[in-house]
Amino acid sequence: MSRSPTLLIAGCGDIGSRLALQMLAQGWAVHGMRRDISRLPAGVLPVAADLHGDLCPPAWPTGELDYLVYCLAASEGSEAGYRAAYVDGLRHVLDWLAQHGQRPRRVLFVSSTSVYGQGGGEWVDETSATEPAGYSGRIMLEAEQLLLGSGLPASVVRLTGIYGPGRQWLLNQVRQGYRVVSEPPLYGNRIHADDAAGLLAFLLLADARGVALDTCYIGVDDAPAALHEVVAWLRETLAVSGWSAESTVRRAGSKRCRNARARALGWAPQYPSYREGYGALLAVETP
């Protein structure tokens, strides 16, 4: 296309803002939708909206909209909160597209690997069975199916455990000496926030070049690892010697996710494992 592509990010919070900055640097026109538009990055065209409501926001872009990324975070972790954010909110956005006669070249929906119910350390990819164990995964899967059945060109991006600035729960747990079981190993998957946004940007740019995209990608680094291994590395790096007598680091599920499909397109994470990602976080913290 001769003009700059236009992008609307519905739910322009942490990951959405990181994505917005990357696409602005590519010369794209970026609209950011969120309740508090004062927190949008400079250069993003503001769209004040509450996706839990059903009224189309007055600032909805009226011109041609080339791409849309649905990147909302649930405001509460209840089943009702998830449904409002991921199913109802997405349905509203699809309705608003139709209301304005807009048909994006592609819609990306930021989903989660909670759609996979595997819990025995199995390797998982985009073709693996989706039999979620909890309501969060079931609702995410319902939202994915809503989008993929909409008739719009679409891809879902199933992100794994996002960490990065402002997302340092595990670091805080380790500093407090919390324990984690090692047998059986609990495998976890993670992706740095910059890489999560980077994958979304990579897919948008690939589509804009005419690359044929799949309907599903997993966003994960190159090295799923047992949680006790990650905790041991962090303890050594942080020089934590004591143990808490009160609590343990707990997590549900145990699976190992592959990023081969995204890598086959040419994407590569900036932080290929927890060592590089947490190492960068800790380097920033060091006076």
What pLDDT is recorded for position 127?
Answer: 97
Task: Report, as an integer, the average pLDDT of 224-241.
Answer: 93
Is pLDDT above 80 for 33? yes
What pLDDT is recorded for position 250?
Answer: 62
Per 3-state DSSP, the chain is made up of helix, strand and coil in percentages (nearest 5) of 35, 20, 45
Cα–Cα distance, 206 to 212 (Å, whole number):
8
User: Confidence band (pLDDT; 50, 70, 90) for 57?
Assistant: very high
Cα–Cα distance, 14 to 32 (Å, whole number):
12
For the domain made up of 6-162+191-222+257-270, the CATH class stated in words is alpha beta
DSSP 117-147: ---SSEEE-TTS----SSHHHHHHHHHHHHH
Task: Report, as an integer, the average pLDDT of 170-199.
Answer: 91
Cα–Cα distance, 19 to 13 (Å, whole number):
10
User: Confidence band (pLDDT; 50, 70, 90) for 253?
Assistant: confident
- Mean pLDDT for all residues in the chain: 93
User: Confidence band (pLDDT; 50, 70, 90) for 41?
Assistant: very high
Residue ranges of the domains in the chain?
A: 6-162+191-222+257-270
Is pLDDT above 70 for 247? no
DSSP 143-172: HHHHHHTSSS-EEEEEE-EEEBTTB-HHHH
Task: Tally Cβ neighbours within 10 Å of residue 52.
Answer: 14
Identity of the residue numbered 98: A
Is pLDDT above 70 for 158? yes
